[in-house]
């Protein structure tokens, strides 16, 4: 006797209970982009405040302090890290020819922890004291004692929420690593894996090794705040610098967690739109691993001014990490040389990434020199640096990923014209918002200040920056519109609309539930390219327009 | 549209060249606060070197990108694949080793500069040692011998650190309870003030003048307004300043001692003011050997109290009125009982915001 076929589930229940990496990936993308918009709105309020030296909008500095704290929290923990987990979730199993992630149910858990964590952190706004307000770094002793600035329940909710994010990321990292190590299709050796997957692997190793330290330090702070602990309060025998060491031991590798997947994406897109392979595949892998390893040795460059750091060592290692990063930039540029370039939006975003991330790396080089950092630490130069690498780097990479993989995920292209408007608006707004901050930092404007009444001469650069920020805000509108319209009626895309290289393009757009009906032979890092070349060659032979053995 | 493959018109190349030249030469020190110390000038020199390297790298890489974008764009109708170049080991080695050399050279220069900045002079070569205390939210500059300049966020003028020009001075920094940072943009320098640590540094201001400073490590609600000034004067002026400096805030105050004192704080302010004039109250006078009723009114805002100690707010020797008896209130009136005290100079202050302080004179 055969059982009756199961009743079809509603779409809502389907997504609520799914363990399919593709659906989970899409949920990550929606959630993370929502967090990006929340973080962006908070940023606009921050920038509005700074248009006037006395503070244009909020008379209460605590409100402002909450704004920049929650802006960074939303962006770092709920947008930039999860969105790459989302793209990774969707794309990595496809790129290695696998059926799904190694642990599908844990995969679902990793995702659902995030909305729970977001609600926990933001419910600080519902408490009497408001949400966390001592910066996303939440240093003691401001956060341990009952000192004005961070003594409400909002900080405790923040700690619990970030702990949940940490659990989500750690589980996800283990999932990615096991998937890649154990579930690659036959022929897919490690050195034939696409660079995006490689970068997700190194990102996952960083996550797995660094996150436990953050978990520990957040719990220690929670104990200090609520159970009479004395880890960080010197009045009780503790040491506030200990917190900084533990916090940054995770949070520095975290910034590589935020950028490496973008590196991977750019390494996929530039070769496709240059029509030649990535220049120096092995060098890229080596450079990625080097960045990951070196990333563990530089954390104290966030603490140069504490007087508690072995300065020459950390200055040396910080300067050193620029070398593998530079290698990547040179290799991407070399990929374009001798190619035949076209400039569809994924490629535009990658070119933007290259130049903007370059600026971020360069201004980081200034900060790496301790004597210069003595001047620019905790100033707007640092704000410029972090946004050039995080926005100019990671966000440009995210947008490139959206435009590149949207056809694969949905079976439709995003509109090119609207995409170009989106790109140029963002590029202009972004530079207007953040370039003036270099000058403000050199002039001595500290970060995390709600007003600057003693320095009215800083007002004009701040106002320019605010205009840029609002331009960025406006620039998200064509993107949202593009997604909405293209989902419904975008130009249809086939399996391999960009003539790309890796296995995700060897299946339909969108892929079936089981990902692949069949796999092409995997003999290089570009199996889809190889298969397409062979197919086109055979077609020319059959049509008589080519002779066997002719090279193209 | 220009036919693909033609080089950029001559004038565009000229513009690009001009921009590059300007960037390289004219803008190196743009935006950098004017250094007024010997150490600061070394920092600016290092900055300029890094700036030139930065501009060269940026122009080189972006130039190469733009060149590729123009020269290697796909011509319409050309569907042939370009040569499928997988890489070049020599190129990899070159562009690993060359940046490595640049990085190491830069490290060497920075290290040398760092040695100069962090160098500490022998004690007998110092013109002064000033204890700098960061508090929420203000500063105390303690020259020793009870000579303290203190001021904070609600004062009309930021507290001033007076230093002798052309002489080495040591600043020894401690914190009340949270991390602050001492930052003077014209020093091109900052150092954190960490509770439980004593951070110190030597500095020599070479140009007389008044310079701005402020806290550069987030320290709570009024972090943005925790400013101070540095005033560099001739040695003679400095000596006069020190000899006339007194931490007795009752100097020049002509009110009579009273056994019934009143003080208040205004809405959301971090300072005490006179109940009648609303001017900042820095002096309370009490009669000798008489218990005193001190009425405090909080017109709204953060919690405050009034404590009375021997010694200073940051270094109390004995507490005559304090928590838990001197309760905190965030609005309304409260009357504190100050015990009878022998003649002398004491300090009254808020135990939540010790920067709210003044002299409690018993005479």
Q: What is the pLDDT of residue B248?
A: 78
Which of A147, A275, A340 lies nearest to residue B220, judging by beta carbons?
A147
Query: Domain end: B215, B244, B273, which one?
Result: B244
- Quick count: other Cβ atoms within 10 Å of Cβ B2? 9
Q: What are the pLDDT digits (tens) for B96-143?
A: 999 999 999 999 999 999 999 999 999 999 999 999 999 988 999 999
Of A425, A423, A417, the C-alpha closest to A470 is: A425
Check CB contact of A43 with chain B, cutoff 8 Å. Answer: no
pLDDT at A10 over 90: no
Q: Mean pLDDT, chain B, as a whole number?
A: 90
B212 and B174 fall within a common domain: yes
Check CB contact of B111 with chain A, cutoff 8 Å. Answer: yes
- Give the mean pLDDT of B161-186: 95
- Quick count: other Cβ atoms within 10 Å of Cβ B292? 24
Q: What is the pLDDT of residue A146?
A: 59
Query: Domain end: B217, B244, B271, which one?
Result: B244
Q: Which two tokens stand for residue B89?
A: 């080991």
Q: What is the pLDDT of residue B308?
A: 95
Interface of B with A in 40-69 (CB under 8 A): 42-43, 46-47, 50-51, 53-54, 57-58, 61-62, 64-65, 68-69
Which residues in chain A are closer than 8 Å to B190, comparing Cβ atoms? 305, 374-375, 377-378
Q: What are the pLDDT digits (tens) for B150-159?
A: 888 878 789 9
The pLDDT-based confidence of B1 (bands split at 50, 70, 90) is: very low
Check CB contact of B106 with chain A, cutoff 8 Å. Answer: yes
Check CB contact of A369 with chain B, cutoff 8 Å. Answer: yes
CATH number, domain with residue B319: 2.60.40.420
pLDDT at B4 over 50: no
Q: Are A101 and A176 in contact (CB under 8 A)?
A: yes
The pLDDT-based confidence of B8 (bands split at 50, 70, 90) is: low
Check CB contact of B22 with chain A, cutoff 8 Å. Answer: no
Q: What is the pLDDT of residue B354?
A: 82
From residue B70, give the alpha-carbon distance in Å to each of A214, A280, A339, B63: 47, 23, 11, 11
Q: What are the pLDDT digits (tens) for A60-106?
A: 999 999 999 999 999 999 999 999 999 999 999 999 999 999 999 99
pLDDT at B11 over 60: no
Which of A362, A363, A377 lies nearest to residue B190, judging by beta carbons?
A377
Q: Which two tokens stand for residue B102?
A: 């640049």
Q: Are B165 and B208 in contact (CB under 8 A)?
A: yes
Check CB contact of A236 with chain B, cutoff 8 Å. Answer: no
Q: What is the pLDDT of residue A337?
A: 97
* CB spacing of B188 vs A374 below 8 angstroms: yes
Name the helix (H) or strand (E) containing B308.
Answer: strand B307-311
* CB spacing of A371 vs B46 below 8 angstroms: yes
The pLDDT-based confidence of B2 (bands split at 50, 70, 90) is: very low
Q: What are the pLDDT digits (tens) for A312-371?
A: 999 999 999 999 999 999 999 999 999 999 999 999 999 999 999 999 999 999 999 999
Burial A174-213 (b: 16+ CB within 10 A, else e): bbbbebbeebbbeebeeebbbbbbbbbbbbbbbbbebbeb
Q: What is the pLDDT of residue B28?
A: 81
Domains in chain A: boundaries: 20-519
Whole-angstrom distance, CA of residue A257 vs CA of residue A93: 19
Q: Are B215 and B223 in contact (CB under 8 A)?
A: yes
* CB spacing of A378 vs B84 below 8 angstroms: no
Q: Which two tokens stand for residue B208?
A: 């007389």
- Quick count: other Cβ atoms within 10 Å of Cβ B3? 6
Check CB contact of B356 with chain A, cutoff 8 Å. Answer: no
Gap between the terminal Cα atoms of chain A: 59
pLDDT at B14 over 90: no
Helix residue spans in A11-149 (DSSP H): 11-17, 21-49, 61-73, 81-95, 104-122
In a domain, B312, yes or no: yes
pLDDT at A159 over 80: yes
Check CB contact of B99 with chain A, cutoff 8 Å. Answer: yes
In a domain, B138, yes or no: yes
pLDDT at A150 over 60: no
Q: Which two tokens stand for residue A153?
A: 């329940």
Which of B43, B74, B192 lies nearest to residue A306, judging by beta carbons?
B192
Up-side HSE of residue A528: CA atoms within 13 Å toward CB? 24
Q: What is the pLDDT of residue B3?
A: 45
* CB spacing of A279 vs B178 below 8 angstroms: no
B127 and B234 fall within a common domain: yes
Which of B74, B191, B220 lies nearest to residue A142, judging by beta carbons?
B220
Whole-angstrom distance, CA of residue A233 vs CA of residue A224: 8
* CB spacing of A281 vs B212 below 8 angstroms: no
Kindly report which listed range (A188-192, A526-530, B277-281) carries the lowest average pLDDT score: B277-281
Up-side HSE of residue A342: CA atoms within 13 Å toward CB? 15
B92 and B147 fall within a common domain: no
According to DSSP, the residues that pair with B273 across neighbouring strands are B264, B280
pLDDT at A448 over 60: yes
The pLDDT-based confidence of A489 (bands split at 50, 70, 90) is: very high
Q: What is the pLDDT of residue B10?
A: 56
Q: What is the DSSP secondary-structure string of A120-136?
A: HHHGGGGSTT-B--STT
Query: A376 CA to chain B: closest CA distance, Å?
Result: 8
**Kind of pairing between the strands at B209-215 and B199-204:** unpaired
Check CB contact of B202 with chain A, cutoff 8 Å. Answer: no
Q: What are the pLDDT digits (tens) for B200-226?
A: 999 999 999 999 999 999 999 999 999
Phi then psi dihedrals of residue A37, to 5 deg: -65, -40
- Give the mean pLDDT of A5-15: 82
- Give the mean pLDDT of B162-183: 95
In a domain, B3, yes or no: no
Check CB contact of A446 with chain B, cutoff 8 Å. Answer: yes
pLDDT at A147 over 60: no
In a domain, B186, yes or no: yes
Q: What is the pLDDT of residue A148?
A: 53
pLDDT at A183 over 50: yes
Chain A and chain B share a number of CB contacts under 8 A equal to: 274
- Give the mean pLDDT of B347-352: 90
Number of domains in chain B: 3
In a domain, B335, yes or no: yes
Which of A371, A378, A444 lies nearest to residue B217, judging by beta carbons?
A378
Of B205, B161, B171, the C-alpha closest to B187 is: B205
B143 and B156 fall within a common domain: yes
Check CB contact of B127 with chain A, cutoff 8 Å. Answer: no
- B39, B110, B173, B355, best to mutate vs chain A, most A CBs in 10 Å: B110
**Count of helix runs (H) and strand runs (E) in chain A:** 19, 0
* CB spacing of A149 vs B219 below 8 angstroms: yes
In a domain, B2, yes or no: no
Query: Higher confidence at residue B26 or residue B306?
Result: B306
Up-side HSE of residue B65: CA atoms within 13 Å toward CB? 22
What residue numbers bound the domain in which B169 lies? Answer: 123-244
Query: B47 CA to chain A: closest CA distance, Å?
Result: 7
* CB spacing of B189 vs A375 below 8 angstroms: yes
Query: What predicted TM-score, i.e. pTM, was given to this entire model?
Result: 0.92
Q: What are the pLDDT digits (tens) for A203-251?
A: 999 999 999 999 999 999 999 999 999 999 998 999 999 999 999 999 9
Q: What is the pLDDT of residue B115?
A: 96
- Give the mean pLDDT of B176-180: 89
CATH number belonging to domain A20-519: 1.20.210.10
In a domain, B81, yes or no: no
Which of B103, B215, B227 lies nearest to residue A322, judging by beta carbons?
B103
Q: Are A438 and A384 in contact (CB under 8 A)?
A: yes
Q: What are the pLDDT digits (tens) for B40-81?
A: 999 999 999 999 999 999 999 999 999 999 999 999 999 899
B149 and B204 fall within a common domain: yes
Q: What is the pLDDT of residue A438?
A: 97
Q: Mean pLDDT, chain A, as a whole number?
A: 95
Q: Which two tokens stand for residue A493?
A: 């895309």
Interface of A with B in 263-302 (CB under 8 A): 274-277, 279-283
Query: B85 CA to chain A: closest CA distance, Å?
Result: 7
Share of chain A above pLDDT 90, in %: 92
Share of chain A above pLDDT 70, in %: 97
Query: B18 CA to chain A: closest CA distance, Å?
Result: 20
B273 and B307 fall within a common domain: yes
Which of A139, A279, A439 lies nearest to residue B85, judging by beta carbons?
A279
**Kind of pairing between the strands at B357-362 and B283-286:** parallel
């Amino acid at each position: 006797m055969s059982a009756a076929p199961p009743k079809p589930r509603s779409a809502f229940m389907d997504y609520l209970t799914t363990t399919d990496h593709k659906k989970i990936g899409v949920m990550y993308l929606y959630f993370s982009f929502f967090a990006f918009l929340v973080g962006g709105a908070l940023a606009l309020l921050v920038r509005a405040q700074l248009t006037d030296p006395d503070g244009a909008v909020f008379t209460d500095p605590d409100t402002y302090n909450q704004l920049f704290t929650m802006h960074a929290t939303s962006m770092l923990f709920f947008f930039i890290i999860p969105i790459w987990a989302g793209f990774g979730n969707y794309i990595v199993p496809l790129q290695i020819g696998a059926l799904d992630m190694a642990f599908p149910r844990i995969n679902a858990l990793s995702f659902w922890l995030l909305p729970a964590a977001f609600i926990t952190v933001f419910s600080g706004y519902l408490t009497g004291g408001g949400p966390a307000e001592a910066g996303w770094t939440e240093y003691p002793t401001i956060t341990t004692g009952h000192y004005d600035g961070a003594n409400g329940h909002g900080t405790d909710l923040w700690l619990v929420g970030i702990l949940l994010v940490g659990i989500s990321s750690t589980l996800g990292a283990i999932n990615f690593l096991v998937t890649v190590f154990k579930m690659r299709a036959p022929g897919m050796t490690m050195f034939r894996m696409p660079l995006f997957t490689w970068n997700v692997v190194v990102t996952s190793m960083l996550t797995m090794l660094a996150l436990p330290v953050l978990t520990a330090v957040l719990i220690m702070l929670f104990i200090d705040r609520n159970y009479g602990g004395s880890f960080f309060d010197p009045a009780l025998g503790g040491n506030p610098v200990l917190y900084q060491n533990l916090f940054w031991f995770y949070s520095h590798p975290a910034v590589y967690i935020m950028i490496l997947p973008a590196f991977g994406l750019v390494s996929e897109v530039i070769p496709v739109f240059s029509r030649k392979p990535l220049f120096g595949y092995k060098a890229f892998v080596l450079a990625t691993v080097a960045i990951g390893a070196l990333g563990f040795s530089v954390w104290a460059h966030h603490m140069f001014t504490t007087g508690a750091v072995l300065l020459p060592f950390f200055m040396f290692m910080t300067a050193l990490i620029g070398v593998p990063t530079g290698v990547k930039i040179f290799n991407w540029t070399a990929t374009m040389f001798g190619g035949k370039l076209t400039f569809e939006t994924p490629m535009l975003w990658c070119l933007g990434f290259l130049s903007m991330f370059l600026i971020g790396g360069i201004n980081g080089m200034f900060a790496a020199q301790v004597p210069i950092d003595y001047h620019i630490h905790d100033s707007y130069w640092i704000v410029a640096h972090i946004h050039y690498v995080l926005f100019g780097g990671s966000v440009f990479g995210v947008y490139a990923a959206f435009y590149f993989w949207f056809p694969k995920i949905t079976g439709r292209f995003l509109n090119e014209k609207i995409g170009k408007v989106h790109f140029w608006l963002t590029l202009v707004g972004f530079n207007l918002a953040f370039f003036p901050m270099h000058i403000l930092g050199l002039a001595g404007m500290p970060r995390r200040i709600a007003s600057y009444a003693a320095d009215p001469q800083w007002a004009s650069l701040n106002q320019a920056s605010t205009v840029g920020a609002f331009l960025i805000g406006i620039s998200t509108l064509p993107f949202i519109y593009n997604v909405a319209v293209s989902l419904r009626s975008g130009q249809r895309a086939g399996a391999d609309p960009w003539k790309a290289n890796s296995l995700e393009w060897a299946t339909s757009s969108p892929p079936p539930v089981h990902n692949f009906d069949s796999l092409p032979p995997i003999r290089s890092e570009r199996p889809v390219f190889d298969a397409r070349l062979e197919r086109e060659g055979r077609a020319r032979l059959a049509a008589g327009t080519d002779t066997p053995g002719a090279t193209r | 549209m220009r036919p693909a493959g033609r080089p950029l018109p001559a004038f565009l190349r000229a513009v690009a060249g001009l921009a590059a030249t300007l960037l390289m030469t004219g803008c190196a020190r743009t935006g950098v606060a004017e250094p007024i110390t010997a150490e600061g000038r070394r920092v600016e020199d290092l900055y300029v070197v890094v700036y030139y390297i930065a501009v060269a790298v940026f122009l080189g890489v972006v130039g190469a990108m733009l060149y590729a974008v123009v020269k290697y764009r796909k011509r319409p109708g050309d569907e042939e694949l370009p040569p499928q170049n997988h890489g070049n080991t020599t190129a990899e080695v070159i562009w690993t080793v060359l940046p490595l050399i640049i990085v190491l050279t830069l490290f060497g220069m920075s290290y040398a500069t760092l040695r100069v900045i962090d160098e500490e002079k022998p004690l007998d070569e110092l013109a002064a040692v000033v204890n700098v205390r960061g508090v929420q939210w203000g500063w105390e500059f303690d020259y020793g011998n009870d000579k303290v300049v203190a001021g904070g966020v609600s004062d009309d003028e930021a507290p001033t650190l007076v230093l002798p020009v052309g002489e080495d001075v040591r600043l020894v920094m401690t914190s009340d309870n949270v991390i602050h940072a001492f930052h003077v943009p014209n020093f091109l320098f900052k150092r954190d003030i960490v509770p439980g640590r004593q951070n110190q540094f030597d500095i020599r201001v070479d140009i007389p003048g008044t310079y701005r400073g402020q806290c550069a490590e987030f320290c709570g609600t009024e972090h943005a307004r925790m400013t101070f000034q540095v005033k560099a004067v001739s040695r003679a002026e400095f000596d006069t300043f020190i000899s006339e400096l007194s931490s007795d805030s009752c100097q020049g105050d002509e009110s009579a001692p009273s056994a019934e004192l009143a003080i208040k704080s205004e809405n959301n302010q971090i300072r005490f003011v006179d109940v009648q004039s609303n001017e900042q109250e820095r002096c309370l006078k009490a009669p000798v050997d008489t218990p005193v009723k001190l009425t405090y009114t909080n017109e709204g805002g953060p919690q405050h109290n009034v404590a009375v100690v021997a010694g200073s707010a940051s270094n109390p020797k004995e507490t005559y009125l304090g928590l838990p008896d001197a309760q905190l209130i965030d609005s309304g009136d409260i009357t504190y009982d100050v015990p009878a005290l022998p003649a002398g100079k004491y300090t009254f202050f808020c135990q939540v915001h010790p920067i709210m302080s003044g002299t409690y004179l018993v005479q």
